[in-house]
Every structure is written in structure tokens, then in C-alpha cells.
Amino acid sequence: MPPQSSGGFGDLYGHTPLEKMFAGADVYGVGFDHYRADRRPLRLAIIGAGGVAQSKWLPALGRLRTLWDPVELVGVADPAEDQGRKVARVHGCRWYHDHGQLLSQEKPDVVLITSPDRFHAEHAQAALEAGVAALVEKPFCTSLAEAEGMCRQSAATGVTLMPIANLRFSPPFRRARQFVASLQGFSADAVLLGKMHLGYDYVDLLEGATVHLFDLTRFLLGDVVEVRARGLGRAEGAHRYPCRQAVISLDFGQAGAAQLFTSASDLSLKPWLRVEVHGQGTWLVVDDVFELVLYDSETGPAKVWKPVLANTLLFDEEFGGYLPQLEHFLQVVRGEEQPSVTPMDGYRAVELITATHLAMASGKAVPLPLDANEADAELALLRSQW
């Protein structure tokens, strides 16, 4: 279910609560908020202070602090000195070259792991060992064995580990999930059509981008039982990858089926991400992280949820899902909310990436769940040939 963290005001589709706006004469919603200000203070650190940390998470953190959540940024770890020192200067915290020093010297309560994919497992393991709750960027890690180890360590230590699944927290996807869960038309045999126009190939198409679609399909329809896939084109040159486009079929058993199209060859234009869910006499579409349209009648009007572009709107921090997932994670660490994303969701997303590679290479259907060791070994062999 959607998290409850929005300062006691419910799901406002990204807007300042009216109580604050009018009664509080506070259009931007920055006036004193006792719902948030009374929370337990937390010390946050960041491992990997590059593009997504600086452009998405730090603005979301700044906004959350402006809204009175008592979370403080204490330090960042990044071997790139120029970036590390800049972030420390701009955000008023300390820079460390190494994540181990950051964890031992700052003793943060929580850490955001936004380092490159290949370090996620190592950094999460170090955080959990130090008793520090971790929020880990997608993809959760780079193999099923790593994902299993991370799930096991979190369960054994009791320290919170949460994969980043920011689009689940975006208002239109949150609402789409409510419809799929509650409207009769979606109760069985739903069909999901998803597409993503990445438009460039310097990141891995499945690991770096399509993983969002994989996670959203599970969020909306549940667990996948079989994967088929066809990859087209090749990324050559510096970035070798077995396809530039892919068509992927996911079978959800009783819950339905999904057809996904993902592309590094297309233009990187809006709509960049589109998800349709078709039920019985009802379907809905989410375009990017912006607009939801529900069609539930042959003759009645479509129902459209589209943010009003007013001064009161928080855009990327809220609609990209960054602020709501960060706030939810902090509330889980404080013991105020139950996690709505678990380490197993990170594992399942890595499993879908792996199964898609295996299905593309073999041309055959791949049943899930995978045997982690066998599937890792098969994928490692494929990667060595790219």
C-alpha cells in the first residue's frame, strides 16, 4: 500500500496542503509542520556523489528538510575529489574519499547508496555491518548471488535495507496501483503494455533503465512466472551491449501478461515512459510520471489526473518519486511505517534483468523463479562474449 509519510496530509498529487496554503497563508508549504518536525532526528550520509545524487536525491533531501523533517546530511564518500569537495561545500557536510571512513567517522543512522552498480552490494554490506540502514539505487546489485546475500544480511541483522524503486512513489503510479488493486475490471487477466525510450546507449539498457519498467510491472501485477524476449541491434564501440532495443513478454499467470518495449535507439523524447493496464471494460494509461487517464465507460468521460501547474507544485522531487521514497525510508527507520519496498523487490528486479538476458540469448521462454547460481553462471558466460 502507498506510504503514509506525507506529513499527515494524504496524497495531494504533489501540491501544498490547502490547510497550509490558505489558513496558514503559506503557498509554498514551508511554515512550521509539527507532523514532521516532531520526528526522531536522523543523520544521513551518501556513498557516490555523482549525477543522480546531485540532481535528484540532494534536491529531494533539501526539500524534505525545508518541509521540517529533521534529517541532516553529515557526509559524502566519493573517490572523485572534485565532485566530493563540491558536494561537501554546496551542502555543508564533510567529504570522504572512502566509504569505510565515512561510516566509521560519521556514524550515520542511514546511508543513501548512489555509487555505480558494481559497488552497490559491497557498500550495502558495509553499511549493514556498521548497523546503518541503507537505501540502495537501482539496479539493487549485479548478480542474484549478491542480491541473495544482501537480503540474508538484512534479515539476520534486522537493519533496514531498501531498494530504490522511486517510480512506485510517483503520484500517478501510486494512483494506478490503487485502481488496479481496487477496481473490479482489473481483478484478473490484466494486460500491461509498457514502453521506455531511453534514447542513448551509454548505460546498459536493461540494468540502467528497463529495470524501472520491470519493477513497475511487478508493482502493478505481481510476480512473473515466465519471460520471453527478443533483442535487436547491438551497442558497439566503448559500450558493448547485446541489444539497442528489446521486446519483452512477461507472463504473470492468473494475474495477466505484459508486453514491454525498451529502446536505446529511439529518440529520448516525451513520453519517455508509458504504461497502459487493460482490464475488463476498464483501462488506464500513465504517461511519464505526470498524467494518469482512466477509461472506465463506453460513453462516459475519461477521468484524468494531471497536476495543475501552480506555484504550490513540487515537481521533479515529488513526481519522480524521490522525496516520497526518501521520506518513507526514513519513517521506516524511525519505526513509524512498515516498508512498502523490501530487499526481495530488489532481488526480483535483478532476476527479471537476468531472465531477459537469458531469454534473448536462447530464444526460449525462461521460467521463474531462477536458480540463482545457475542463472548467474549463464549470464557471466554471456557477458564475457559481449
Ligand X SMILES: NC(=O)c1ccc[n+]([C@@H]2O[C@H](COP(=O)([O-])OP(=O)(O)OC[C@H]3O[C@@H](n4cnc5c(N)ncnc54)[C@H](O)[C@@H]3O)[C@@H](O)[C@H]2O)c1
Task: Note the residues at the interface with ligand X (CB under 6 A).
Answer: 47-53, 77-80, 83, 99, 114-117, 119, 137-138, 164, 166, 208
Tell me which amino acid residue 166 is: N
- Using the minimum distance from each CB to ligand X, give the nearer residue, 54 or 312: 54
Residues ≥6 apart with Cβ < 8 Å to 232:
243, 244, 245, 246, 247
For the chain, the distance separating the N- and C-terminal CA atoms, rounded to the nearest angstrom, is 40
Please state the closest distance from residue 78 (CB atom) to ligand X, in A.
4
Please state the closest distance from residue 169 (CB atom) to ligand X, in A.
11
* Environment class of 86 (CB within 10 Å of its CB; exposed 0-12, middle 13-18, buried 19+): middle
Cα–Cα distances in Å, from 58 out to 63, 103, 316, 323, 324?
A: 8, 19, 12, 10, 13
- Using the minimum distance from each CB to ligand X, give the nearer residue, 119 or 305: 119
Please state the closest distance from residue 318 (CB atom) to ligand X, in A.
14
Which secondary-structure segment (H or E) carries 231?
A: strand 226-232
Please state the closest distance from residue 311 (CB atom) to ligand X, in A.
26
- Using the minimum distance from each CB to ligand X, give the nearer residue, 116 or 367: 116
Tell me which amino acid residue 140 is: F
The residue with its CB nearest to ligand X is 50
Number of helical H runs and strand E runs in the chain: 14, 15
Residues ≥6 apart with Cβ < 8 Å to 123:
47, 48, 99, 111, 113, 115, 134, 136
Rg (CA), the chain: 21
Please state the closest distance from residue 341 (CB atom) to ligand X, in A.
12
- Using the minimum distance from each CB to ligand X, give the nearer residue, 10 or 79: 79
- Using the minimum distance from each CB to ligand X, give the nearer residue, 52 or 344: 52
- Using the minimum distance from each CB to ligand X, give the nearer residue, 36 or 197: 197
- Work out whether the CA dihedral 144, 150, 153, 154 comes out positive or negative: negative
Please state the closest distance from residue 239 (CB atom) to ligand X, in A.
13
